Amino acid sequence: MLNISNNSIDRDQILRHQSAYQQVMQHNASKFILYLLLGLFLVGFTVLFLPWTQNIRSRGKLTTLQPEDREQNIHSVISGRVDKWFIQEGQRVNKGDTIVYISEVKSEYLDPQLLDRASNQTAAKKASIQTYQEKAAALESQIQALERNKVLKLEQTKNYFKQTNLKVTSDSVDFQTAQLNLQIAQNQYNRQKALYDQGLKSLTDLQQRQQKLQEAINNRISAENNWLSSKNELVNAKLDLTTIVNDYKEKIAKAQSDRMSALSMSLEAEGQFQKLSNQQSNYSERSAFNHITAPQDGYVTKARIGGIGETVKAGQAIFSFIPANYNLAVAIYVRPVDLPLIQEGNQVRLQFDGWPALVFNGWPDMSFGTYAGIVVAFDKAADVDGKFRVLVAPDPEAEPWPELLGLGSGVYGIALLKNVPVWYELWRNLNGFPPDFYIDDPKLNKE
């Protein structure tokens, strides 16, 4: 109101009969407010010295600890056409259960008797291998027999050569004897003729000596003929030695050549047999790929190929699969600046989506509805978002995680670090400093 008068107003005199004024101006009420403010200040000051657990907060999702336990796509190994489904989506299957049947579409595999024909070809080639090996063994026996015959024949020929040589010597002695006898007979005839001319011997005696001389001439000619024949036989014996060696060398060389050819054909047939065996094995293994089975106990979550008659390519995903038994883990993603603070064995508090929880970041012991975990591994390279994945497994010494957790559901993770006073944490956040990162080393403290 306007102050246009010089007269003063006594407010206390006017308002002292008002109850509200009296309550406000009471001295006890002023003391209560003072004590209340002082108590709040002391409580706040005390709170500043309470321990506060530094932490790293991040979002993540449920996964599995082992890679083979995670959701996986089952692919078709061969190209084909979907002929029949044996399961429904979400159905539990056991290891080895047939899920879908795929028929062949390539012309080289359409023959219904493909395996039987491949088996017959392989058996025939194996029999040919055995035939070639038997032929090589027979030729080896023939070579050994030729070697033995060669030794015997050479020994026989050498003996004949020795006999012929001795016969040449004997015939030579006979020839010399016949020649000596001829000379004696000639001398005797000459003396007998001289006596006949003198009339001392009769014509009969002369004719007898002449007959003896003629016999000596015949014996000499016969002995010389035998000697020349023996010499000719000796030359033939020498020639037989060389001929036998050459003949047997040729026969043995031909047998060895035939044996090597048989062995070569055997090796070639062995290579073809191995090729056919490999082809038969491939056909057999490929026939097993027509039935796509469950790799382990689990659930078929989603069919990637629907309907009957749809064609698929080799390596194309047919359905997704989740194992029935797996060890849960949590994958949380931290910033690069927080990665040096993460060490294997660090404790982590986890809040699962769908599970009520009351979380106090700095006081994990006072939180409700959170579960304990331990860092087991972390990536050495960042993902596409520039964050690092950290794998957290259940703490075996703490309360087990809920059994109804589903893979892929969201998780809020709090990695626990050092314990510091509240005032220090407030000061650190006001200045934008990172959490403390150092390790107490007893050796350094002693120094």
Q: Which of 204-213, 349-358, 389-398 has the highest mean pLDDT?
A: 389-398
> What is the SS3 assignment for 360?
coil
**In this predicted structure, which of 49-58, 92-101, 145-154, 349-358 has the lowest mean pLDDT?**
49-58
Which phi and psi angles does 59 have, rounded to 5°?
Answer: -95, 155
CB atoms within 10 A of CB 71: 17
* Same domain assignment for residues 76 and 165: no
**In this predicted structure, which of 297-301, 392-396, 428-432 has the lowest mean pLDDT?**
428-432
pLDDT at 441: 45
* Same domain assignment for residues 378 and 401: yes
* Same domain assignment for residues 144 and 185: yes
Q: Residue 138: is its pLDDT beyond 60?
A: yes
For residue 341, name the pLDDT band (cuts at 50, 70, 90): confident
What pLDDT digit, counting tens, does each position of 286-339 carry? 777 888 888 888 888 888 887 788 888 888 888 888 888 888 888 888 888 777
* Same domain assignment for residues 64 and 75: no
* Same domain assignment for residues 362 and 280: no
Q: Which two tokens stand for residue 81?
A: 């056409």
Question: 394 is in which domain, residue-wise?
Answer: 51-68+326-446
Handedness of CA 24, 27, 28, 32 (dihedral sign): positive
Q: Residue 359: is its pLDDT beyond 70?
A: no
* Same domain assignment for residues 245 and 330: no
- Distance in angstroms (rounded) separating the CA atoms of residues 146 and 140: 10
* Same domain assignment for residues 135 and 180: yes
CB 125 within 8 A of CB 108: no
Final residue in a domain of this structure, among 288, 305, 335: 288
pTM summary value: 0.53
Q: Residue 21: is its pLDDT beyond 70?
A: no
Q: Which is nearest to 364 in space by CA: 375, 372, 356?
A: 372
pLDDT at 9: 57
Q: Residue 106: is its pLDDT beyond 70?
A: yes
pLDDT at 30: 59
More confident residue, 172 or 2: 172
* Same domain assignment for residues 165 and 300: no
What rounded mean pLDDT belongs to the chain? 77
* Same domain assignment for residues 179 and 303: no
pLDDT at 155: 83
* Same domain assignment for residues 130 and 272: yes
How many domains, in total, are found in the chain?
3
* Same domain assignment for residues 353 and 312: no
More confident residue, 257 or 208: 257
